[in-house]
Amino acid sequence: NESISLAGLVKVVHTDKDGALISEFSQPNLVTTVGKVQIAQLIENVVAVTAPSHMAVGSSNTAPSVANTTLGTELARVALDSATQSTNTVVYVATFGPGVGTGILEEGGLFNAGAAGTMTCRTLFSASVPKAAGDTVEITWTVTVG
């Protein structure tokens, strides 16, 4: 018997207005129950289901749960810069540029729509990200099927 699992790794890079590195860290994430259903539907090619296309950041530090369907307190959501599949992984990249998602970032999520939609994955950042108006935060979210 084979077992299939889903795992995610989130990398956060925070830079200032001049591009100088403020902080960088990587951590695992949580695949939500609705995210697992979404992935199963994508495998089955259910027409009404779309793949992740947006990332969001928020200010809530409430622990993630598989039952989550939204972030605790969403501050901003952006379209993905890229989504690249290679063997059994998909790498999603999104950039929250100057003036986007300004505040104390505590959480992130991977979604399939610009508003509402299915939250495939959620994470609580291992360190707060104090994003000033001129700062940029780039998030790379790797989902591995193994």
Measuring CA to CA, which residue among 96, 94, 89 is closest to residue 142? 89
Could you give the CA distance from residue 34 to residue 42 in angstroms, rounded to a whole number?
Answer: 12
Q: Is the pLDDT of residue 25 over 90?
A: yes
- For 42, the 3-state DSSP assignment is helix
Task: Give the side-chain half-sphere CA count within 13 A for 92.
Answer: 23
φ and ψ of 42, to 5 deg = -65, -40
Segment 9-23, tens digit of pLDDT: 999 999 999 999 999
Q: Taking the model in full, what pTM does it have? A: 0.92
Segment 39-72, tens digit of pLDDT: 888 888 877 788 999 999 999 999 999 999 999 9
Eight-class DSSP state of 33: H
